[in-house]
Structure 1
Amino acid sequence: MYKYNSSIDWNSTVQPNSEAVVTSAPPTQQDDDQIAAQEDTKNLEIDANQNWVETSTQQQLEFLLSNLLKYGVLLASAVVLIGGILYLIHHGSEPANYHIFYGTPSEFRSPVGVVGAVLSGSRRGIIQLGLLLLIAVPILRVIISLLTFLLKREFIYVLITSLVLASLTYSLIGAYY
């Protein structure tokens, strides 16, 4: 049978190679396809392992958007949790009456009404404010992406992001009119 020798130490001397390779070539005549392909990849570099590496501006944008989503959802969740706890402290011992349906009060049907309810001390208003924050986070992400694409002059992405923003705006405002 096989025998295991435990006295052998396995040491690896292989180091990961993550150095970026930058090369330059003498200028040549390029046709339009080559110029377009070069412009598409001008924000990317190739590392020694032939992997695409994002530039610092793309990494900063991804970092900003990921933190916006992460902390925005955490903030919205915290606001809903606080509102829910306050609501249960005040109304938790009341019996539920399911015989009569009561619709949403008019003050909770618009963002201005929700803010007014929160300022007046409504616990349901705090919950609704948390839900509005949860809806606003992805919309803010789209707005930041749109502004970034405008600054980078990537107009195809500006068009697509504008369509997404218009769709979101229409779905929110269309409910009131």
Structure 2
Amino acid sequence: MYKFNSSFRWTFLAQPDKGVVTLTLPQEVKDSNIEQLEQRTSTVTQLPNSCEIDANKNVTKTLSEQQLENLLSNLMKYGVLIASAVVLLGGILYLIHHGNEPAGYHFFQGEPLEFCSPAGVVKAVISGSYRGIIQLGLLLLIATPIVRVFISLLAFLLQREFIYVIVTLLVMASLIYSLVGAYY
């Protein structure tokens, strides 16, 4: 309940909720051993989704969850770094060979047909096109989150988390539709 006091401030009158935990211990035997008692009580509780809560109410992740998180983190980190390095390399090579040419802005020239598909970009890189190298770096940058979603999908399938599988499939379908829709 809130109260409006004379200094024009709202104050909260109700006391915060306090939780009470009851713990029932087995009846003690006069010849009880402390080691046996420590074995009966545990500071870690197992949750249904294979996470754990320790005595301080901190949720800890399982080993497989930590490995998946590290894999996805490294994939994003190194994928972006590699894609950026490829774009930078292509940009430097392009500027070395074409940096002194004047820009012709009198007529609009669209993107060449070789850069309108991933196969065309790969052919341009093989033929030695510097713009093709830049485009390849951009394709790698676009492919990085797609690979991340695909790995997440496989991990959720292995863990049998079907709600996450459905959500991940929707994200994957959206990504694929946006890529395919750009070409048609």
What's 2:87 paired with?
80
Select the structure with the greater relative contact order (CA < 8 A; seq sep ≥ 6).
1
What's 2:78 paired with?
71
Map residues 1-177 of structure 1 onto 2, 5 A cutoff: 21-22=43-44, 38-39=47-48, 42-177=49-184
Distance 1:106 1:118 in 2: 14
In structure 1, what residue type is equivalent to 2:44?
V
Distance 2:129 2:176 in 1: 27
CA contact (8 A) 2:80 2:144 kept: yes
SS in structure 1 of the partner of residue 95 of structure 2: helix
Change (3 A) 1:117 1:49: same
Which TM-score applies when normalising by structure 1? Answer: 0.78
Distance 1:107 1:21 in 2: 63
SS in structure 1 of the partner of residue 96 of structure 2: helix
In structure 2, what residue type is equivalent to 1:21?
T
Question: What CA deviation, in whole Å up to 9, does each residue of 1:83-131 have, x standing for no partner?
Answer: 0000000000111111111100000000000000000000000000000
Aligned pair count?
143
Question: What CA deviation, in whole Å up to 9, does each residue of 1:28-72 have, x standing for no partner?
Answer: xxxxxxxxxx53xx3211123211111111110100000000000
CA contact (8 A) 2:45 2:54 kept: no
Distance 1:48 1:176 in 2: 55
Distance 2:135 2:45 in 1: 56
1:23, CA displacement in angstroms? 5.1
Larger radius of gyration: 2
Name stretches of at least 5 consecutive residues in structure 2 with no aligned partner: 1-41
RMSD between aligned residues:
1.4
Deviating 4+ runs (over 6 angstroms): none
Name stretches of at least 5 consecutive residues in structure 1 with no aligned partner: 1-19, 25-37
